[in-house]
Every structure is written in structure tokens, then in C-alpha cells.
Chain A
Amino acid sequence: MAQVTCCQIRGKSPNDLEIILKNLHEELNSLNIGRKDSNKIKNIRKSIAHVHIVQNQTIKENLKEFYHGEQYKPNDLRRKQTRAMRRSLTPKEESISLAKTQKKKRTFPKRTFAVKD
């Protein structure tokens, strides 16, 4: 039995995928009894994995679309980055300064001088 690839199943509906999965599992069970056709068993196991991959990917995609632009997203749909980076100040927050310092900067900017030959 040939392996079911992800490309073959991507368009299918979730119900279809469930049926495919069930059939694969049943076949696997029947094969497991004698435990002889190792290649066939391998193909089926991998096919099951591919079906799961497609299922999970489509669900994730749909959820990402659903939560697109929302302020509160589930944690796994947010940017992963690193723990420290997630807790750091945003660029905007970092650029905030006191009115006092802004005034100072404006009135006394860094000046460059050059010596004229």
C-alpha cells in the first residue's frame, strides 16, 4: 500500500479526513495481528501521521485567520520570539521621554563643528 501524502489529502473536508484516518487505523490493526508486513505497516503508520499533520495544520490556519487582528489571541498563536523579548519594552515604550528632556534635546542639540582651512 502506498503512503498517503499530505498533498493528496489537503483539500479534503474534516469528515473525510476522519474517515480516512479510521480506515487506516483499522488496517493497521488487522496487520498488527500477524506482524509480518513490516513495510506495509510502516506505510500505514506514516500515512496516519500525514493525516494528522494535515488536520492540525488546517485547524491552526483557520484559527489564525479567525484571531487575525484581535487584541487577545491564544498564546500559541502569538509570536514566539524569546521569553525575554516578549517581556521587553516595545520600541514605542522605549522611545518615550519626559517633556523636560525633549525640550533640552531640542534647545541643545548635538552640534558638529569643523575647522575651516
Chain B
Amino acid sequence: MAPKKDTKETSTSAKKKDTTAPSTTAATASVKKAVKSTSGTSGSGKDGTKVVSKDRKEKVQTKALKAKQRVVRGNQLTRKRKIHTKPTFRRPFTLRLKRQPKYPRRSVPKRNRLDHFAIIKYPLTTESAMKKIEDNNTLVFIVNIRANKPLIKQAVKKMYDVDAEKVNTLIRPDGEKKAYVRLKADHDALDVANRIGII
């Protein structure tokens, strides 16, 4: 009975704010009013009557919503059957989700061991290499055996700032890869060799 008393108190205080004399009948009427007003505004469920009304409203609403959904969805008992026009049945396409790993399997991605420092080991300084520099505008390098021509081209560009016209490679009998890097016409192999320190 405590909650009712509270409502009575609040109502009386409210009443006092408004007008009229606080008679007993008026007081009860005000209690009822208070009940109605609080149920309408759906405040705290102190009184049992208020909570039921609110629940009932929600129930009716959900029921209506469900009916609407069912209408939109269509009745599943009268299902349409697919017409197969071909004798073969192929597996239908299903949803394939993209990977969204919760954690990376490796904490750090592998470092590229074949960076341009590792590709070009050293330039050759033999007599035939010198001849190539002077005559054919090419530089001769000993190169990592796992490097391929485009990689060698990139590495030379990055290390020595020169553009290569073409790269020819061969694997020496001692297992090293030799790369003949012909430079573009606007570069002079002799200058570049001087700059690098070959000569």
C-alpha cells in the first residue's frame, strides 16, 4: 500500500499547485487521475495496474507487427517449386564470406629478404667487364641467384640512380649469377662506374 500513498501525496501536492479545496472525494478522484496520468506517460511501474496496461499495449503492437511481417513474407505453406529446365543439377551459389580474422596468425609479416641490397652483391671489375663498360655502355654485376631481370633492373635503379635499357643474365659455373646491365643512352657507363667506384 506504500506506493498508493506516494501517489496520493504527489497528487495532493499537484492539486495544491492547481486549485480547488482538498476534500476527501476530490482526493480520491485526484488519486485516480494521478494513476491515469502516470499510466499514460508510462513512468515507473510502481502500481500493478499501470504495468499491465503498458504491457498490453506492447503485446497488441507486437502482434500487429508480426501479422504485417507475415503478410510481407508470404505464407510458407503454399511454397512455389522451382522449375528445372535442364537434367543436370549444379550446386547453387551460396554465400561466401570474406575472411575476418580475429587475430593475425603471424604477429609480424615476414620481412623481404630479397631487398635491393641483397640482390646486387657487387660489380665485376675484370678486364672483360671493363671492356663492356667502355664499349657497350653496360655494367656487369654479380647478383643474387634468386633475382630475376626485372628485379635486377629495379635494384640498379634504386641503388645507383640509373635506368637500364636491358638486362642479360647468366649463371656462372661457380653458382653465381652474373648480370649484364645495359644502361640507357642518356647514361654513360664510364661515369657511373667512376661514381660507384669500380674503376
Contact = CB atoms under 8 A, between A and B. Distances in A.
Interface of A: 25, 28-30, 32-35, 56, 59-60, 63, 67, 70, 72-77
Contact of B117 (A29, A34, A75, A76): A29
A30 to B, nearest CB: 6
A102 B65 CA distance: 51
Contacts of B106: 74-76
Determine the main DSSP class of A at the interface with B. helix
B196 A33 contact: yes
Across the A-B interface, give the 4 residue pairs with the lowest CB-CB distance, nearest first: A74-B107, A32-B122, A72-B103, A25-B117
Interface string B165-187: 00000000000000000000000
Given A72-B102, A72-B103, A73-B103, A29 B108 contact: no
B159 A29 contact: yes
A63 B107 contact: yes
Determine the main DSSP class of B at the interface with A. loop
B105 interface: yes
A74 B122 contact: no
Contacts, number: 40
A76 B104 CA distance: 10
Is the interface on chain B under 10, 10 to 19, 20 to 34, or 35 or more residues? 10 to 19
B107 A33 contact: no
B125 interface: yes
A33 B123 CA distance: 6
Nearest to B123: A33
Contact of A74 (B104, B125, B159, B196): B104
A30 B106 CA distance: 36
Contacts of B196: 33
